[in-house]
A and B are shown apart, each in its own frame.
Chain A
Amino acid sequence: MLAVEGLTTVYGAVRAVDDVSLEAAEGSVTTVLGANGAGKTSLLRTITGLVPAKAGQVTMDGSSITRLPVEEIVRRGVAHVPEGRGVIAELTVEENLRLGGLWRGKEAAPMSEIYELFPRLQERQAQPASRLSGGERQMLSIGRALMARPRVLLLDEPSLGLAPVIVAQLMGIVRSLADTLGLAVLLVEQNARSALSIADRGIVLNLGRVVADQPPSELVADERLRHAYLGF
């Protein structure tokens, strides 16, 4: 569904993303792993057009979206949940959700669907998002992205700063989104162990380059790779 070919992003003299190719297929979870500064966030930001690509291509169903403005890429069905959760603290929970489905008009997901998935959000719907806990904010960001019924979901370090129990819960939800809604999920994580536990494919980045692209079981079995890049 989403394909990235030879994507390169440059900040000054730094090649943050260097000739990266990958695919995210319908109903699958692809995780992108690597240390801080490996280029994971830059990769997602280049896919959604927040940062211009220096070279390479991003395609949705075979047609290029590489040079489109962010708003257009979103309209092709790509939802990006940014790092740091990206909830708009000044807006209420409900306003955040409504905003997510606005461009979809009548075809947006009904809010009840999101509340079914994240009951905590319904309890807090009238509160400003600034009052939410870290886990709730993450749920709000994901729920808000789902409002537009996307086909591709890009998640940037959703587990950052969350308690292990919440992380496990969250990973379960991400997996089920791929299984039940058929979403192509691209999951960027530093928490390699949790991400690999739900992924169909694991990609390891180092200094912007792909150093491994394998099924999770093979990644976990490769002791050298684990020690060098995944930290467990």
Chain B
Amino acid sequence: MTKFIDLTLSGISNGAVYAAVALALVLIWRATRIVNFAQGAMLMITTFIASAVISSSGSYWLGFFVALTSGLVFGAVVERVVVRPVEGAPPLNAVILTLGLYTLLVAAAGMIWGNTPRSFPAAFSLQGYKVGGTRLLFTPNDTFIVLVVLGVAGLLALLFRATSLGLQLRASAFAPEVARLLGVRVKRMFTIGWALAAVAGSLAGVLVAPSVFLGPNSFDPILISGFVAAVLGGLDSPPGAVIGGMILGLALSYVAGYEGSALVPLAALVILVVVLMVRPSGLFSASKERRV
């Protein structure tokens, strides 16, 4: 029973990180129909920046804050400099560009910071909670991970649902041409969308870094899990991304605990294939409404 509780709790914690990565992918997919393969490398860069800030200033929270703000700026810059020139071209062009950007960023990070993975501090204790006589695997830092991801997802939901900016962002994503005819500055909305997505990505980076170590390729598996979570949730649904992340986190945690962690990557792929076969539009996709 303790094992089940342990697996469930750590599944939720991992799921929160997958949810943040999935959010980053979904926000961009929804707005521009591009799967951003550079997302893993982008969040790696912002996490390296955070690491540099933490080691020079000694303050975790300053590093955390810098990671998110540098993500915001980085996302906007990537949209303006890399993606905008191929806007209107076939989507594959942009996808190839994000793959190129991934390679570039990984190589650049290796040149600047070296290829040896380094440790990254956690915000809170990594000692499991003690319940009765047993110590759980779930730590105060896991609580922080879950709360901060849910908090950011909630703030994003509020932004999209309750503000004029959110209305313009949604309109630009669903019907860019109509939005332009209504005076919405759609290109600016795309830039903001990329920036917000990159914030979610950089959040995932600093949250997961203590457990995967920080190196140029450390976050590749997280990107794959985030992608599976996004597909599970429906690729164009932000709430779907969060729920998809949680479901995937739990599923992979049970697989790792009961069947062995070697099977985790395989399980993720099996889930991906099953979702694509049974319900290709994902659990929460809005695209059915779209086809009316």
A residues bordering B, Cβ < 8 Å?
48, 50, 70-71, 74-75, 79-80, 82, 86, 88-91, 95, 98-100, 102-104, 128, 130, 144-145, 148
**B167 interfacial contact with A, CB 8 Å:** yes
Question: Cβ of A89 and Cβ of B290 under 8 Å apart?
Answer: yes
**B263 interfacial contact with A, CB 8 Å:** no
Question: Cβ of A89 and Cβ of B289 under 8 Å apart?
Answer: yes
Question: Cβ of B184 and Cβ of A99 under 8 Å apart?
Answer: yes
Q: Which residues of B contact A100 (CB under 8 A)?
A: 182
Complex CA–CA separation, A91 to B292 (angstroms): 13
Complex CA–CA separation, A140 to B168 (angstroms): 17
**B174 interfacial contact with A, CB 8 Å:** yes
Q: Which residues of B contact A99 (CB under 8 A)?
A: 167-168, 171, 179, 182, 184
Complex CA–CA separation, A151 to B166 (angstroms): 27
Complex CA–CA separation, A82 to B286 (angstroms): 23
Question: Cβ of B183 and Cβ of A48 under 8 Å apart?
Answer: no
Minimum CB–CB distance for B253 against chain A, Å: 34
Q: Which residues of A contact B170 (CB under 8 A)?
A: 90-91, 95
Task: Indicate whether A71 sits within 8 Å of B180 (C-beta atoms), given known contacts A86-B175, A88-B171, A99-B168.
Answer: yes
Q: Which residues of A contact B180 (CB under 8 A)?
A: 50, 70-71, 74
**B177 interfacial contact with A, CB 8 Å:** yes
Task: Indicate whether A90 sits within 8 Å of B286 (C-beta atoms), given known contacts A82-B177, A103-B184, A148-B183.
Answer: yes
CB nearest neighbor in A for B288: A130
**B178 interfacial contact with A, CB 8 Å:** yes
Q: Which residues of A contact B134 (CB under 8 A)?
A: none
Question: Cβ of A88 and Cβ of B290 under 8 Å apart?
Answer: no
Minimum CB–CB distance for A155 against chain B, Å: 12
Question: Cβ of A80 and Cβ of B167 under 8 Å apart?
Answer: no
Task: Indicate whether A71 sits within 8 Å of B185 (C-beta atoms), given known contacts A90-B289, A99-B168, A102-B164.
Answer: yes
**B181 interfacial contact with A, CB 8 Å:** yes
Question: Cβ of A89 and Cβ of B292 under 8 Å apart?
Answer: yes
Question: Cβ of A75 and Cβ of B183 under 8 Å apart?
Answer: yes
Task: Indicate whether A70 sits within 8 Å of B181 (C-beta atoms), given known contacts A90-B286, A128-B289, A130-B289.
Answer: yes
Task: Indicate whether A74 sits within 8 Å of B164 (C-beta atoms), given known contacts A99-B171, A130-B289.
Answer: no
Interface residues in B166-208 by Cβ distance below 8 A to A read 167-168, 170-171, 174-175, 177-186
Complex CA–CA separation, A95 to B289 (angstroms): 16
Minimum CB–CB distance for A166 against chain B, Å: 19
Q: Which residues of A contact B184 (CB under 8 A)?
A: 71, 99, 102-103
CB nearest neighbor in A for B181: A80
Question: Cβ of A88 and Cβ of B183 under 8 Å apart?
Answer: no
Question: Cβ of B167 and Cβ of A86 under 8 Å apart?
Answer: no
Question: Cβ of B181 and Cβ of A88 under 8 Å apart?
Answer: no
Given B174, B183, B286, B289, which contacts A74 in the complex, CB threshold below 8 Å?
A: B183
Question: Cβ of B174 and Cβ of A88 under 8 Å apart?
Answer: yes
Minimum CB–CB distance for A91 against chain B, Å: 7
Question: Cβ of B174 and Cβ of A71 under 8 Å apart?
Answer: no
Given B178, B183, B185, which contacts A86 in the complex, CB threshold below 8 Å?
A: B178
Complex CA–CA separation, A88 to B286 (angstroms): 12
Would you list the 5 A-B pairs with minimal beta carbon distance, nearest first? A103-B183, A74-B183, A70-B180, A86-B178, A88-B175
Task: Indicate whether A90 sits within 8 Å of B167 (C-beta atoms), given known contacts A74-B181, A80-B181.
Answer: no
Q: Which residues of A contact B183 (CB under 8 A)?
A: 71, 74-75, 102-104, 148
Q: Indicate the member of B171, B175, B180, B182 with the most A CB atoms within 10 Å.
A: B182
Complex CA–CA separation, A80 to B183 (angstroms): 11
Complex CA–CA separation, A117 to B192 (angstroms): 35
Question: Cβ of A95 and Cβ of B178 under 8 Å apart?
Answer: no
**Can you list, as one digit per residue, whether each of B104-138 has a CB less than 8 Å from chain A (1) or not (0)?**
00000000000000000000000000000000000
CB nearest neighbor in A for B183: A103
Given A50, A74, A130, which contacts B182 in the complex, CB threshold below 8 Å?
A: A74
Q: Which residues of A contact B168 (CB under 8 A)?
A: 99, 102
Minimum CB–CB distance for B19 against chain A, Å: 22
Minimum CB–CB distance for A68 against chain B, Å: 12
Task: Identify 13 new A-B residue pairs, CB closer than 8 A, beyond the known A71-B183, A98-B164.
Answer: A71-B180, A74-B181, A74-B183, A75-B183, A80-B181, A86-B181, A88-B171, A88-B174, A91-B167, A99-B171, A99-B179, A99-B184, A144-B182
Can you list 23 A-B pairs, Cβ within 8 angstroms, ordered by A?
A50-B177, A70-B181, A71-B185, A71-B186, A74-B182, A74-B183, A75-B183, A80-B181, A82-B178, A86-B175, A86-B181, A88-B171, A88-B178, A88-B179, A89-B174, A89-B290, A100-B182, A103-B182, A103-B183, A103-B184, A128-B289, A130-B289, A148-B182
